[in-house]
Amino acid sequence: MRQDKEIDPLPYLKTGAELQAMEITIEWIVQDVIPRRGIITFTGKGGLGKTTFLLDMAAAVRVGVPFLGRTTIKTPVYYVDFENPLPITVDRARTLNITDVRFWLQGLDFPPPRIDSDGYDLYKKLPPGLIIFDSLRASQMGDENSSKDMALAMQRYKELRDYGHTVILIHHTQKANEQSFRGSMAILDLADHVLSFFPVRKPGDDTAIEGDDLDHMTFYLGTREKTRFSPVKLYVRRAGGLRWPLTRTTRNSRIWQPCYLAGAS
């Protein structure tokens, strides 16, 4: 193999006309919410239901049915869980009746590799699809406040994106300020689509509130800090005000549902 210094880079560069001729367009795994082949951070306070929301979305995407009233692209889905005990994840899969999403768990005989380890190439052996990492902090061993460590981790996620995967990173806010992104700014700088998730008083009011009755609260979901794609803002709530945790007898077709501003079409 030739050394880099022996390679003439010019033939590898593309003109604007060549780019325009490519059969490549922006696609959305969940219309206007989750861009295909992007790195998405899904950020919110612990205990709000981020995992449940994404598992509900994953089940819809895997079979290509609408989610939040929006079209989806049928896609293989991999849920890589570095956070939760195996019994918790098993219970969630049963309660939410998730059948076709593939889980890669710490408690299995062959646990998932961390993204900053030599084994990260194993993710490239998976057919291109949607990979959800729970969580960004736990999926790598670096210091999340170190720009150097986070730049390495985010570069590895970029490799997976450019291989063909869509990557969602569950991320937490600062404990001192639940509306502030946690960790090095390298995470924010190198992500493609930053989604925030938090409870509000009602649709149209984007001020975060505190509360314990999450089953009856409205949640903001949208881009506040950054996106390389298109901004999005919507409001969701758990369907039917069902008590949590759900049981099989109370399970709806989708746990999370959109809610709309009064007078909006």
- 229 token code pair: 């794609």
Mean pLDDT of 18-35: 97
Please tell me the class of the 35-259 domain.
Answer: alpha beta
pLDDT band at 3 (very low <50, low <70, confident <90, very high): low
pLDDT, tens digit (0-9, with 9 covering 90-100), for 208-263:
998 878 888 999 999 999 999 999 999 999 875 444 444 443 334 578 999 976 54
Edge-to-edge, what's the strand order for the sheet holding 130-134? 102-105, 77-81, 130-134, 166-172, 39-44, 193-200, 218-227, 233-238, 256-259
DSSP state of 211: -
What is the pTM for the complete model shown? Answer: 0.92
**How confident is the model at residue 175, as a pLDDT?**
67
pLDDT band at 85 (very low <50, low <70, confident <90, very high): very high
CB-based contacts of 84: which residues, under 8 Å, 6+ apart? 51, 134
**How confident is the model at residue 190, as a pLDDT?**
97
3-state class of 103 per DSSP?
Answer: strand
**How confident is the model at residue 216, as a pLDDT?**
86
Tell me the C-alpha distance between 194 and 191, whole Å: 7
Please state the domain extents for the chain: 35-259
DSSP state of 199: E
Type of residue numbered 19: L
pLDDT, tens digit (0-9, with 9 covering 90-100), for 138-174:
999 999 999 999 999 999 999 999 999 999 999 998 7
Token pair 């720009």 in the structure block, residue = 147
- pLDDT above 60 for 1: no
Q: In which element (H, E) is residue 93 found?
A: helix 86-95
